[in-house]
Structure 1
Amino acid sequence: MSRVFRKTLRDSGPPGGHPDFFAAEAAGLRWLAAAGAPVVRVLRVGVDAIELELLDSARPDRRAAREFGAALARTHDAGAPRFGSPPDGHRGQLFIGRRTLSSVEYDTWGEFYARERVEPYLRPALDAGYLTAADHDAVRQACELIASGVFDDDEPPARIHGDLWNGNVQWTSGGAVMIDPAAHGGHRETDLAMLALFGCPLLGDILAGYEDVHPLVEGWQDRIEVHQLHPLAVHAAGHGPSYGTALGRAARAVLALARG
């Protein structure tokens, strides 16, 4: 019998709660699992709580990291209908952490990413005093550039975790397991950029395993700051001015990259 980890809306959900909060988490986990992703198993879900299999804990090792990278590549390759598509069967609100996340769908990545993954978090960051006017202007310029399609490529929508920071990768005796997704159709480089942003252990081995399955497009390292705008914007909206500063710095790097 599985041991249970129970989260309640009162303790884990957004301010004021939301009836879709745990349904979105469960749908994301199941959608990723359907692609073979190593994710925590959903045991039970309701409006007020979700029950997940309780994971054990182990030290990360190179073999587990490489296997995780390979599994992540296969998950991405399972795809999504469009950029911004929600998990199959979920028609309610999406979330990233405790903040709402858009499920408006697009045919092109750049417009989707700028309009639905970066811009919605700028006003809250400004209102909180965590984003300066100068940094806000730089992010807006970067968003216009991204929306124009300058970074678009032939990559199809990937099935991404969407909130793949280090804390959402749990190392167990059976390998790495992902938790707390903000799953949607996005660009595969976004998940990898988030792993890099918050310092995932053995990232080099994860990337090596990933490229064993699906090599990354040349120059992906140069685009890391492009894909980090989203998590930085989300954090700038509620986690302090250091994230606003980092967001402005990343936006200026994006503008410099476009200028060549």
Structure 2
Amino acid sequence: MSLIARIEALTRAKVAQVRALHGGDLSEVAHVTLADGREYACKTGPLVSVEARMLDAIGATAPAPRFVEGDLLLMDYLPGEPATPTHWRDLGRALRALHDRTGDAFGWPEPYAFGAVAIPNDPAPNWPIFWAECRLRPSLSFLPPDLAGRIETLIATLPDRLPKVRPALLHGDLWTGNVHFSHGRAWLIDPACYYGHGEVDLAMLHLFGSPPAAFRDGYGVVEPGYGERQPIYQLWPALVHYRLFGSGYAGMLDRLLSAAGV
């Protein structure tokens, strides 16, 4: 069955238009307009049902999933608009509210993936163990021996370097491409949720850019020592990029490890 036929079967309406949208490197996204006037963002991929559950977990800050079947997800369509300080301040507030929601354990009920890179989310008894075993160690076999050895050295120090925290709900893949501004506010899209330390989202958001002061005003004060932990948390997205896009990211890994003192 064609994509249009599947959409029509799910929505019980004729499709008037399908327009491709930018969906990043790992998914295909389109804007679907139905003959009855409804509009959806349509996403296809093997894990869209997991993503739909993550969108539900985030709640009002994310576009609502409306239909899910197999590898097809239809969610609310939100027309984009240029970012203003008000948008960025709203993002800070929304992210703080997300991180204020806590769970019983670190991790997530099911695994996820970025393309070919598996993301284990097995529950862990404490935060340093989760970060070591579910975020850093799974990538060691894909690295040159020198980088792998430095990460092993870092892993051994994590119990002394990462704080005792309550498991906070994370977006999990928070770069600027996964922040969408619409209707005068900020929305979180393409989540890879799990429960962890809220600083992980902050670290990734600052890895490929620098949010303006309005974001910091909205989010509020960070915990003491965040600057020392930031490169440790930025290693995870850097490892993902290395595995997805190649050794061109080795320099980023080297820089982050040096910043972490390893």
Name the TM-score, length of structure 2 as normaliser. 0.80
The alignment partner of 1:51 has SS state of: strand
- Give the aligned residue type for 1:111: I
SS in structure 2 at match of 1:136: helix
Q: Secondary structure at the match of 2:174?
A: coil
Cα deviation digits, residues 40-89 of structure 1 (max 9, x gap) = 22111121211122221111111111121011111111112211133xxx
Matched residue, 1:72: 95
Look up the equivalent residue of 1:134 and give its one-letter code: D
1:251 and 2:261 are equivalent in the alignment:
no
Summarize the alignment of residues 73-112 of structure 1 with structure 2, pairs less than 5 Å apart.
Answer: 73-86=96-109, 92-96=110-114, 99-112=117-130
**Aligned residue in 1 for 2:42:** 6
For 2:239, the aligned partner's letter is: A
Residue 121 of structure 1 corresponds to which residue in structure 2? 139
Tell me, yes or no, if structure 1 residue 52 matches structure 2 residue 58: no
Q: Deviations over 1:133-176 (max 9, x none)?
A: 22222122112222xx1123232111000000111011223311
Between the aligned partners of 1:98 and 1:180, the Cα distance in structure 2 is 16
Residue 255 of structure 1 aligns to a residue in which SS? coil
Higher RCO (CA 8 Å, separation ≥ 6 residues): 1
Q: In the alignment, residue 88 of structure 2 is paired with which amino acid?
A: A
Identity level (%): 30
Residues 31-50 of structure 1: matches in 2 within 5 Å? 31-33=57-59, 36=60, 38-50=61-73
Match of 2:215 in 1: 206
Greater displacement, 230-239 / 189-198: 230-239
**Counterparts of 1:219 and 1:93, CA distance in 2:** 30
Shift in alpha-carbon separation, 1:78–1:192, aligned structure 2, 3 A:
same
Q: Secondary structure at the match of 1:5?
A: strand
Could you tell me which runs of 5 or more consecutive residues in structure 2 were left unpaired when the two chains were aligned: 1-36
Distance in 1 between the 2:250 and 2:40 partners?
Answer: 37
C-alpha distance 49-27 of structure 1, shift in aligned 2 (>3 A): same
Q: In structure 2, give the amino acid aligned to 1:46.
A: E
Letter of the aligned partner of 1:210 in structure 2? Y
Q: TM-score, normalised by structure 1?
A: 0.81
Q: Aligned match of 2:151 in 136, 139, 142? A: 139
Identify if the C-alpha distance between structure 1 residues 41 and 98 changes in structure 2 by more than 3 Å, giving closer, same or farther. Answer: farther
* Greater Rg by CA: 2
Give the unaligned 5+ runs of structure 1. Answer: 10-17, 87-91, 127-131
Distance 1:43 1:65, change over 3 A: same
AA aligned opposite 1:106: A
- Selected match of 1:171 from 178, 181, 189: 181
Deviation at 1:110, TM superposition (A): 0.9
Q: For residues 196 and 53 of structure 2, what CA distance do their matches in structure 1 show?
A: 16
Q: Tell me the CA shift for residue 2 of structure 1.
A: 4.0
SS at structure 1 position matched to 2:231: helix
What one-letter code is carried by the residue in structure 2 that aligns with 1:82? A
CA contact (8 A) 2:162 2:229 kept: no
Please state if 1:185 is matched with 2:211. no
Say whether the 8 Å CA contact 2:116–2:244 is kept in structure 1. Answer: no
Alignment partners' CA distance in 1, 2:77 and 2:211: 22
- Higher share in strand: 2
Q: Does 2:167 correspond to 1:157?
A: yes
